[in-house]
Amino acid sequence: MDMDAVVGLLHATIRLATPLLFAAIGGLYNERAGVINIALEGKMLLGALVAFMVAFSSGSPWLGVVAAAASGMLVALLFAYVTITLGADQIVAAVAINLMMLGFTGVVFRLMKAAISGSLSAPTFPEWAIPGLDRIPLLGPVLFRHLPLVYLAFLLVPLAHFVFYRTTWGLSIRAVGEHPRAADTLGVKVRAVRYLTVLWGGAMAAVGGAVLSIGHNSTFIENMTAGRGFIAFSAIVFGKWTPLGTMLASLLFGFADALQLRIQAGILEPLFRSLGIQEVAYQIPVMLPYVVTLVALFFIGKSHWPAAAAIHYDREEG
């Protein structure tokens, strides 16, 4: 591989890690507060559709992102009400949301396609090269020639670290996830903390979805997330519930994605040919990010979930 190919691979790693990072860093907040959120997938998918529709009709990708965040919060509100207020099982509620969003986005997108003749192409973001920094050899093109949302995603990482470990909010969030009753006896509003973190997580997951539709592409495709919400969830676990770890895990999965695209494009063809393999079905490299997810969880060892994860809290129940 030559230098350009390496730069391209690393650049793509960061680009492809971005949607995962949005969903994972956002989801980290509610996970640390004890709400398990495997509905990231559904929220990402909805965000992807809403961002595309609003950007398409308004002409502004930024408006698309804001609308996506709002839609993510709306679904998160439903999820929060069902699980935190009504005490429904978090896993089951999340599965319902994922299935609902898969169907809903598909139907809406088909209706839109039927109603609109002509190109279904939304305006997308221009690349922001950071003046000066982008001229650094190697690092410049890898790190500093991206969409604005990419920088935003990576800024969320130190922000999350600061919130968790340096603020009273973060202390409350961590305490609620470990021992909600203890937090309650000290006047921490357990439900409010869980609601707010779920809403924030929903908004961020939807923005992650928006990156897929109007960041990487300029259109929506049915089931365009293709399990990325679950990969983002795995990134939280693999990252051991820390912002930095979650970022590294997202980058690993982004790298796997970038690599498989290049394998599809044929970078390994000389290798295959020397091994006497004529053709590799494209489905095989496509599996790579998912295989990496599994293998990664293999190596993580025993993980320490927040002690109150997925457990409903009710003050008057023992």
DSSP states of 217-254 as a string?
-SS--TTTTTTHHHHHHHHHHHTTT-HHHHHHHHHHHH
3 state DSSP class of 55: helix
Q: Which is nearer to other proteins, 137 or 318 (CB)?
A: 318
CB of 316 to other proteins, least distance (A): 6
- Total interface residues for other proteins by CB under 8 A: 23
CB of 186 to other proteins, least distance (A): 3
CB of 234 to other proteins, least distance (A): 22
CB of 189 to other proteins, least distance (A): 8
CB of 178 to other proteins, least distance (A): 5
3 state DSSP class of 107: helix
Q: How far apart are CA 63 and CA 26, in angstroms?
A: 20
Q: Which is nearer to other proteins, 134 or 184 (CB)?
A: 184
Q: Which is nearer to other proteins, 94 or 190 (CB)?
A: 190
Q: Are 244 and 24 in contact (CB under 8 A)?
A: no
Interface of this chain with other proteins, residues 243 to 302, rule: CB under 8 A: none
Q: How far apart are CA 217 and CA 210, in angstroms?
A: 10
Q: How far apart are CA 246 and CA 244, in angstroms?
A: 5
Q: Are 175 and 182 in contact (CB under 8 A)?
A: yes
CB of 248 to other proteins, least distance (A): 21
CB of 166 to other proteins, least distance (A): 6
Interface of this chain with other proteins, residues 131 to 190, rule: CB under 8 A: 165-172, 174-175, 178-179, 181-188
Q: Which is nearer to other proteins, 156 or 224 (CB)?
A: 156
Q: Which is nearer to other proteins, 168 or 283 (CB)?
A: 168
Q: Are 27 and 232 in contact (CB under 8 A)?
A: yes
Interface of this chain with other proteins, residues 208 to 227, rule: CB under 8 A: none
Q: Are 26 and 194 in contact (CB under 8 A)?
A: no
In DSSP terms, which residues pair with 129 in a beta bridge? 145
Q: Which is nearer to other proteins, 166 or 273 (CB)?
A: 166
Of 32, 49, 25, 26, which Cα lies nearest the Cα of 100? 49
Q: Which is nearer to other proteins, 126 or 304 (CB)?
A: 304
Interface contacts to other proteins, rule CB under 8 A: 165-172, 174-175, 178-179, 181-188, 307, 315-316
